[in-house]
Structure 1
Amino acid sequence: MNNTIVVGIGEALWDVLPEGKKIGGAPANFAYHVSQFGLDGRTVSAVGEDKLGTEILENFYEKKLYSMIERVPYPTGTVQVELDAEGIPCYDIKEGVAWDNIPYTSALEGLAKQTSAVCFGSLAQRSVVSRETINKFLDAMPEGNTLKVFDINLRQGFYTKEILCNSFKRCNVLKINDEELVTVSRMFGYPGIDLQDKCWILLAKYNLKMLILTCGVNGSYVFTPGNVSFVETPKVEVADTVGAGDSFTATFVAALLKGMPITEAHRLAVEVSAFVCTQNGAMPVIPDYLKERMK
């Protein structure tokens, strides 16, 4: 195992789908895919002292997914997921749950000090406890070449301008999709310009190393100061899109940490994400032919 520690911090929950329940939450999806590329992926979250919480811990153990998951006196998170005709998920996310109450512990601070890259979103920041834990974790990470990836993941109404602004300032890589970019630019007051110009504005305003813009079937972009990479989205038979974005982020981060150039990391991330779309669920095993590209 490569000893580069990569952390997904935030929600751990059950997606309750029409056909049954599946473990969900972007942080676990992200950490799992990172670990498939040989890095030390860890999930940080909280679950309840209940059967659903025990099942999450057992599932991560079976997947050999290392985690720092506290048990807290709140119910384990659940999300009712319904898929529309195109396989696109709609979410009903329960509130006042365990992952809203992730405690900041000395063990977590110790982990932060060893972390090379972290991915966090806006959803787990809806409650003050988890928001403060995420902020303290980011602050405790080493100075220098660490990657702090804000995968914005806007869900329902669980975000505010203040939370987004603070996260933009604390991250150095922003990942956003085209719909989220429209929402953000309305909130921040530059709605009239095209998507690429919005990306350049955010990149400069928040002094980001990179901004990743995904546009579904219309491809994806990676903006860095003075440069942009574009990769078309492959046409595949979609089973469901759950977790595809997390696999993209995980692959991209792992590739950068292993020294791949941005354009190659971007291309591989697109191919892995397209593969995940052909599979059911968020955590399929990535085939060897894709893993071997990251040697």
Structure 2
Amino acid sequence: MKVLGIGDNVVDVYIPERIGFPGGNALNFSVFAKKLGHDAEFIGTFGSDFFGKNVKKILAKLKIKNDNSRTLQGENGFTKVELKNGDRKFIYSNHGGVTKTEGVFARPEYFWDKDLVHFNINGNCDQLIEYVNRENTKIIYDFSDFKINENKLQYLILRIDLACFSMPNVSRSSVSAFCKTLKKINSKISVLCTSGSKGAYFFEGKTNQLTFVEAKKIKVKDTMGAGDSFITYFSLNYFEKNQKKSIKSILEAATDFAALQCLKDGSFGYKFTIQ
């Protein structure tokens, strides 16, 4: 598949170690898709600073196309992170740096040959969804913990194929009710709700079926990027043309893929030292 992650790129700065790990929902999607053997591209806005330069160096090593991205004067997106028992805690963010202040630029033709495009709530490029040909291209959108107004939520749900949410402390009945509310907006919507160590739910609007999978029990090293790896694996397999796998089997395989990610440092293991 030809896939595109468009939106945010962030450097997660681990303290007190002062080590930077590239990440961000859109960039992580592209990296994980490439790892899974797909033709992956990233489009975003890099800062002109030390962080932006290092993210681009790492993408070059990974051979992920990003030449439709812009580099602008200013700060790259970054956060400061502490690890506590393997779980990452964000203690500071510059809210995306130039991605937030300048946005992300793309032309309609950048989407023409793509099978799947990933947008997200931190990408600052929702207006570009209108460029995607919905007849040929599937759209997934990562809402994270969905701090978004109702009008914006309705606008997006009408225009996407798979909505992804982080819902760590909810019951099955709450997930089911929430998904059915989204179906009232878009009868064909599919919804993926990840709940960390509690597992994940998938709701398919076409069938009204809600499927649950338990999380894999492992000794976690770092949870950074776990949700992104799960979303990437699931969406690529769910939207694969002529795929005949069951939803349950795809969810289980996505769980295994995300569990492996939790054994690595940072979003996908690549790092650089901050002087």
TM-score (norm 1): 0.80
Partner of 1:16: 13
Call closer, same or farther: CA 1:181–1:140 in 2, change over 3 Å: farther
The residue identity in structure 2 corresponding to 1:203 is K
- Does the residue aligned with 2:229 lie in a helix, a strand or coil? helix
Q: Is 2:61 aligned against 1:72?
A: no
Task: List aligned pairs for 1:25-174, cutoff 5 A.
Answer: 25-67=24-66, 68-85=68-85, 87-95=87-95, 97-100=97-100, 101-106=102-107, 109-125=108-124, 131=125, 134-136=126-128, 138-154=129-145, 159-174=148-163
Cα offset for 1:50? 2.6
The one-letter code sitting in structure 2 at the alignment partner of 1:201 is: T
* Aligned-residue offset at 1:204: 3.4
Q: In 2 relative to 1, CA 104–69 (structure 1 residues): closer, same or farther, beyond 3 Å?
A: closer
Structure 1 residue 85: deviation in Å? 4.2
Of Structure 1 and Structure 2, the greater helix share is in 1
Secondary structure of the residue aligned to 2:87 is coil
How many aligned positions are there?
Answer: 260
Deviates more, 1:263-272 or 1:96-105: 96-105
Q: Distance in 2 between matches of 1:152 and 1:181?
A: 16
CA contact (8 A) 1:15 1:79 kept: yes
Q: With CA pairs under 8 Å and 6+ residues apart, which has the higher RCO, 1 or 2?
A: 2
Aligned partners of 2:26 and 2:123 also within 8 Å: no
Deviations 1:112-150 (A, max 9, x none): 12221111111223xxxxx3xx322x2222232522111
Structure 1 residues 59-89: Cα deviation after superposition (integer angstroms, max 9, x where no partner) = 1001112223211123211111223345232
| Counterpart residue number, 1:282 | 267
Corresponding residue number in structure 2 for 1:231: 213
1:140-289 to structure 2, matched below 5 A, reads 140-154=131-145, 159-179=148-168, 194-225=174-205, 226-258=208-240, 259-261=243-245, 262-284=247-269
- Provide the rounded CA distance (Å) in 1 between the counterparts of 2:169 and 2:138: 21
5+ unaligned residues in a row in structure 1: which ranges? 126-130, 183-192, 286-295
Classify the secondary structure of the residue corresponding to 2:211. strand
Q: CA deviation at 1:263?
A: 2.8
Distance in 2 (CA, whole Å) between partners of 1:54 and 1:104 is 19
Q: 1:172 to 1:160 in 2, by over 3 A?
A: same
Q: 1:105 to 1:121 in 2, by over 3 A?
A: closer
**C-alpha separation between the residues in 2 aligned to 1:233 and 1:98?**
36
User: Aligned partners of 2:190, 2:222: CA distance in 1, in Å?
Assistant: 28
Task: Name the Cα RMSD after superposition.
Answer: 2.4
